[in-house]
């Protein structure tokens, strides 16, 4: 046992992955059953002295759909907003953490999650490029969701040595000049290294160190103010929201104390991995904003792999999930597609058409805010993004304006034609509820209306399926968004794909193999 524990803690990411996998298996059996933070760029004076009641944060700007452009440079994000995401009706982009970060051997992706200072200078670009990205994306209606790493600061190995970050800032463990010092951190003292071992102990999870990273004392008012300054600087630049990384390791009241200091009312969603069996639950965090609902991705992965989608009709709060207005859902994210952070039976870009169909379903359904992953290919789960011969991030966009999507390591699965079409569908149907649910006897095909605003059908089988089903859409001729290559009727001179007719409240249509149909009211 001692040798096993020694081996586990030599690879802490894999240790967490193993624990999460066991919890995942148990949860899926229950849910689906066997059948179914400052070298600062700003001063404290920029923080408003006004203290707003926590209740106001419930009135947040709506983010219905966002794309996570994982490890993209700021220049590339700006171009993608202008060329693809804005026209597709995507509400926002989640970016990689923008602050100065640790430099590690091999340049793994997770060095971005080890803050050195709060300078906006990272592998993705400079402060000036960050500001330009925010401006350009906002100009085409796409907000920026900044990944906020506020639970901890970077580690050093060995612990007492000095290192330099991505912007050249010198730091040591518990000493980040001009930002935080020893007194600003938790020193739990439970183990010789203070690393979290027992996830059944709430105090330990929120006061000891995640993977040996210096754990900020977010209960201290001075720390909260420093963190809020960092976030407010970005809000003042036009950032629309924040993903709070590792939120489960921060007491919900501490996050509330930070969010209560923020200017305006940004969209906030908190990463809380809750698959049951632990004392800290996702519902504790809903008063602060939205919260990740990882169980949706696990459910989707399980049912789509089984090929029976009929149970999805009732997916939502009735299954013990978060309230729909508070849930952030996705098929996969940057952690669990690598087997970390609640990994399990999730679908990823490697699953091809099935992954695209799962994303299309989430966009067509009416549960939660939907996140779409945009990946780069990896063989090693620690690998950073594709790089140039000089070690810089390889741009997605070439000098001639063409992209490297689908080559040179960039996957860009968010660009799937059907997925982009369903983003427009989701924008068109708004908050309309699901009605007229239908599923085939084996569950390989499903169809439903979004009241009188739209209709969606999906076929997970490798052969076409002809169906006749009822719909709440008015009688008339409609143009399928999916087969129209995202050019519905009225754009470019008529329907470019399958036309769908509603007659006396019924639709007769053929769903192509491994594809979908989506139509919206005129």
Q: Choose the catalytic residue: 100, 121, 215, 271.
A: 271
Distance (Å, whole) CA 456 – CA 449? 6
342-345: which pairs have CB atoms within 8 A and are 24 or more residues apart?
Answer: 342/20, 342/23, 342/24, 342/273, 342/275, 342/294, 342/298, 343/17, 343/20, 343/21, 343/24, 344/20, 344/21, 344/24, 344/25, 344/28, 344/298, 344/301, 345/24, 345/28, 345/298, 345/301, 345/302, 345/305
Burial annotation 51-86 (CB, 10 A radius, 16+ → b, else e): eeeeeebeebeebbbbbbbbbbbbbbbbbbbeebbb
Catalytic residue among 129, 215, 245, 351: 245
What are the residue ranges of helices labelled H in 98-151? 127-139
3-state secondary structure 399-418: CCCCECCCECCECCHHHCHH
Q: Any catalytic annotation for residue 271?
A: yes
Name the 3-class secondary structure at 447: strand
Q: CB-based contacts of 192: which residues, under 8 Å, 6+ apart?
A: none
Strand order in the sheet with 515-520: 435-439, 445-449, 454-459, 515-520
For residues 152 and 139, is the Cβ–Cβ distance under 8 A? Answer: no
Q: Which conformational region is residue 30 in: left (phi greater than 0), alpha (psi within -120 to 50 degrees), or beta?
A: alpha
3 state DSSP class of 287 = helix
Closest residue by Cα to residue 194 from 182, 205, 180, 208: 208
Residue 44 has φ and ψ, to the nearest 5°, of -60, -25
Q: Which two tokens stand for residue 505?
A: 């409240």
Clarify whether 245 is annotated catalytic.
yes
List the one residue out of 67, 105, 24, 93 whose CA is nearest residue 382. 105
For residue 336, what are its two tokens?
């669990």
**Cβ atoms 243, 145 nearer than 8 A:** yes
CA–CA dist 449, 457 (Å, integer): 9
How far is C-alpha 219 from the geometric centre of its chain's CA atoms? 26
Cβ neighbors of 419 (< 8 A, separation 6 or more) are 356, 359, 360, 363, 372, 413
The Cα 175–Cα 182 span in angstroms is 6
Q: Residue 518's closest CA among 356, 347, 325?
A: 356
The answer to whether 333 and 494 have CB atoms below 8 angstroms apart is: no
Q: How many residues does the structure list for the chain?
A: 522
> What are the residue numbers of the active site?
245, 271
């Amino acid at each position: 046992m001692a040798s096993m524990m020694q081996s586990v803690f030599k690879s802490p990411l894999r240790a967490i992955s193993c624990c999460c996998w066991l919890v995942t298996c148990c949860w899926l059996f229950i849910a689906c059953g066997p059948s179914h933070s400052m070298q600062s760029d700003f001063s404290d004076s920029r923080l408003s002295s006004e203290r707003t009641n926590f209740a106001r944060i419930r009135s947040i700007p709506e983010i219905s759909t966002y794309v996570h452009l994982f490890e993209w440079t700021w220049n590339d994000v700006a171009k993608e907003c202008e060329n693809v995401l804005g026209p597709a009706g995507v509400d926002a982009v989640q970016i990689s953490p923008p602050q100065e970060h640790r430099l590690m051997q091999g340049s793994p992706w997770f060095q971005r999650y080890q803050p050195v200072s709060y300078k906006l200078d990272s592998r993705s670009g400079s402060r000036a490029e960050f500001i330009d990205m925010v401006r350009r994306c906002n100009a085409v209606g796409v907000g920026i969701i900044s990944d906020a790493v506020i639970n901890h600061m970077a580690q050093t190995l060995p612990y007492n040595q000095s290192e330099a970050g991505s912007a050249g800032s010198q730091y040591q463990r518990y000493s980040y000049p001009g930002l935080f010092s020893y007194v600003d951190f938790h020193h739990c003292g439970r183990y010789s290294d203070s690393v979290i071992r027992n996830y059944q102990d709430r105090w330990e999870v929120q006061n000891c160190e995640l993977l040996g990273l210096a754990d900020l004392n977010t209960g201290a008012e001075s720390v909260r103010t420093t963190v809020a300054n960092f976030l407010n600087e970005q809000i003042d630049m036009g950032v629309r929201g924040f993903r709070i990384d590792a939120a489960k390791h921060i007491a919900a009241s501490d996050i509330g104390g930070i969010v209560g200091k923020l200017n305006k009312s940004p969209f906030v969603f908190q990463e809380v991995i809750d698959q049951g069996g632990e004392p800290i639950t996702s519902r504790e965090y809903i008063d602060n904003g939205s919260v990740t609902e990882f169980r949706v991705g696990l459910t989707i992965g399980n049912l789509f792999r089984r090929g029976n989608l009929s149970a999805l009709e009732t997916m939502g709060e009735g299954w013990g999930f978060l309230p729909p207005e508070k849930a952030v859902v996705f098929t996969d994210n940057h952690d669990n597609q690598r087997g970390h952070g609640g990994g399990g039976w999730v679908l990823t870009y490697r699953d091809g058409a099935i992954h695209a169909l799962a994303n299309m379903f989430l966009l067509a359904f009416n549960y939660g805010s939907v996140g779409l992953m945009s990946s780069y290919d990896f063989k090693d789960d620690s690998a950073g993004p594709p790089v140039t011969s000089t070690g810089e991030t390889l741009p997605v966009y070439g000098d001639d304006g063409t992209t490297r999507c689908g080559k040179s390591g960039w996957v860009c699965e968010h660009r799937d034609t059907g997925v982009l079409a369903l983003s427009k569908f989701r924008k068109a149907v708004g908050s309309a509820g699901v009605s007229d649910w239908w599923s085939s006897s084996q569950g390989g095909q499903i169809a439903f209306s979004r009241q009188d605003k739209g209709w969606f059908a999906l076929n997970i089988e490798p052969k076409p399926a002809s169906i006749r089903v009822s719909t709440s859409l008015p009688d008339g001729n409609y143009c399928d968004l999916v087969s129209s290559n995202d050019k519905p009727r009225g754009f470019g001179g008529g329907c470019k794909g399958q036309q769908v007719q509603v007659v006396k409240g019924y639709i007769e249509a053929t769903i192509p193999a491994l594809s979908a149909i989506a139509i919206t009211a005129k």
